[in-house]
Structures are given as C-alpha cells and as structure tokens.
Amino acid sequence: MKKRKAGLKIGARLTLFLVSYMPLFIIMIFGQFYKYSDYLNWGGD
C-alpha cells in the first residue's frame, strides 16, 4: 500500500486561512479606523 501524505493541498490550506482570518483582520482594521478617526486626514480642510 502507498503511504498517504497527511495534510491539505496548498490551495485548500490558503483558502482555509483566508476564510478563517480575513474577517478577524477586517474587524481589527475597522476598529483601528474608528478609534483613530480623529487623527486621519483625507486631504480635506
């Protein structure tokens, strides 16, 4: 019998990472924008 290689393919692993962590990163980024919105300058007066 052939030995089965444990683990996921690189595409599956990347997809799992993105699906798992992207919402967390997005929430953290929006939280930082909201917290420091007074200090941001978008080029207006």
The reported pLDDT for the residue numbered 1 is 64
Provide the whole-model pTM: 0.56
Residue pLDDT, tens place only, 1-45: 666 666 779 999 999 999 999 999 999 999 999 998 888 877 765
The reported pLDDT for the residue numbered 37 is 87
The reported pLDDT for the residue numbered 6 is 66
Cα separation of 20 and 31, whole Å?
A: 18
Dihedral (CA of 10, 13, 17, 18) sign: positive
Cα separation of 42 and 27, whole Å?
A: 21
Tokens for 11? 């595409």
The reported pLDDT for the residue numbered 35 is 93
Residues 13 and 6 sit within 8 Å (Cβ to Cβ): no
